[in-house]
Amino acid sequence: MTTSRRAGRVTAADVARASGVSRATVSYVLNDTPGQTIPESTRRRVLQAATDLGYVPSVHARALASGSTGIVVIDTSTIPPGELVATATRTLSRALVERGYVPVVNQYTGADAGGEVLVTLAQRLHPTTVLALGELSDDIIRRVREAGVARVFATPSSAGIRDIAEVQVAHLAGRGHRSVAYVAPPEPELAGLSELRLAGARAAAASHGVALTAIPLLDQEPLARELRRLRDEGVTAVAAYNDEVAVGVLGAARRSGIALPDELAVMGIDDLPVARRTFPQLTTVAQGDVADADVDLATIDAILAGEQPVLPRTAPRVVVRESA
């Protein structure tokens, strides 16, 4: 049977007309409703008509029929964006699709609006689960649940952001550096997260007797000049916000003629693949949490089942290479 596709969205009524059955029968077949006795020939006719027409049930229709939209919102609005989070999001999305869910990602990080966007998504999409890779405030969690989301999972992130920077600066102090520059990311949306990391770096610097200077990541030429100035003032190491920032520092240092790591040690955070491809190879801090690219799928299954598993938190660890 072939049927020309109508302009606009195909509805269950279109499938009913094309297959010559009632809308109720179409609903029973497409939703595989239990307790209904429908001839196999009728079932095949309905399914073929739905395929020919390109029928896709709406989110709300599917929710009414099954009690679930099958949508899972992955929220990354409260953690630093970058390659690590992007890889974790792809891994999670693939795992959700394989389990029959539809992933929707909220990565809006503008001020406090990320939580507001999440609430709006909950109200409009009616997801079965919200999986936040960072922390959510109690107020946002309450409002998401009030929107009808039964399963909301979030993991604290602020303490971890500070801890990682503390490990970074402590390593540099252990290597004998007494004057360190913290290089912040240039993106305004990362300012809040960078301040958390800078606070951790300052705490470690204070406890280890290290002088800490904070500067923004600049374009290569102005950053090269700034690094020469800092070197002349006695700065011997850079604690970069993450590996991506550190790569920019490495390039500017080489452009300025600064010997790495003899005159300036450089250290990143995240242990991204690029850290092994720089020259010199980048010393960094590897972090382990729910945002790790190696997602524990058993934990994801537990969350989807409505459990609140306690995630094992791996302590940050220094990966020593050539740059520091």
Is the pLDDT at 219 greater than 80? The verdict is: yes
Cα–Cα dist 126/134, whole Å: 21
Task: Between 12 and 218, name the one with better pLDDT.
Answer: 218
> pLDDT tens digits for 252-287?
999 999 999 999 999 999 898 899 999 999 999 997
Average pLDDT over residues 40-62: 78
Average pLDDT over residues 22-29: 85
Task: Between 234 and 7, name the one with better pLDDT.
Answer: 234
Lowest mean per-residue pLDDT among 64-68, 72-76, 129-133: 64-68
Is the pLDDT at 72 greater than 70? The verdict is: yes
pLDDT for 290 equals: 43
- Fold of the CATH domain 159-288: Rossmann fold (3.40.50)
pTM of the predicted protein model: 0.64
Cβ-based burial of 39 (10 A; exposed 0-12, middle 13-18, buried ≥19) = exposed
pLDDT for 310 equals: 61
Residue tagged 């409260």 (tokens): 78
pLDDT for 78 equals: 77
Cα–Cα dist 195/38, whole Å: 63
Is the pLDDT at 179 greater than 80? The verdict is: yes
Predicted confidence band at 316 (pLDDT cuts at 50, 70, 90)?
A: confident
- Domain with residues 12-57, CATH architecture: Orthogonal Bundle (1.10)
pLDDT for 192 equals: 77
pLDDT for 6 equals: 42
> pLDDT tens digits for 80-129?
677 777 888 888 888 888 888 889 998 876 555 668 889 999 998 889 88
Class of domain 71-154: alpha beta
Q: Peptide bond before 280: cis, by omega within 30 degrees of 0?
A: yes
pLDDT for 32 equals: 67
Residue tagged 């923004």 (tokens): 216
Fold match, 71-154 / 159-288: yes
Q: Peptide bond before 261: cis, by omega within 30 degrees of 0?
A: yes
> pLDDT tens digits for 155-172?
755 556 788 899 999 999
3-state secondary structure at position 272: coil
User: Average per-residue pLDDT in the chain?
Assistant: 84
In 209-295, alpha helices (H): 220-232, 243-256
Give residue limits of the domains in the chain.
12-57, 71-154, 159-288
Task: Between 4 and 183, name the one with better pLDDT.
Answer: 183
Q: Are 74 and 92 in contact (CB under 8 A)?
A: yes
3-state secondary structure at position 49: helix
pLDDT for 66 equals: 47
pLDDT for 293 equals: 43
Q: Are 323 and 281 in contact (CB under 8 A)?
A: yes
In 126-219, alpha helices (H): 138-146, 158-174, 191-208
pLDDT for 245 equals: 95
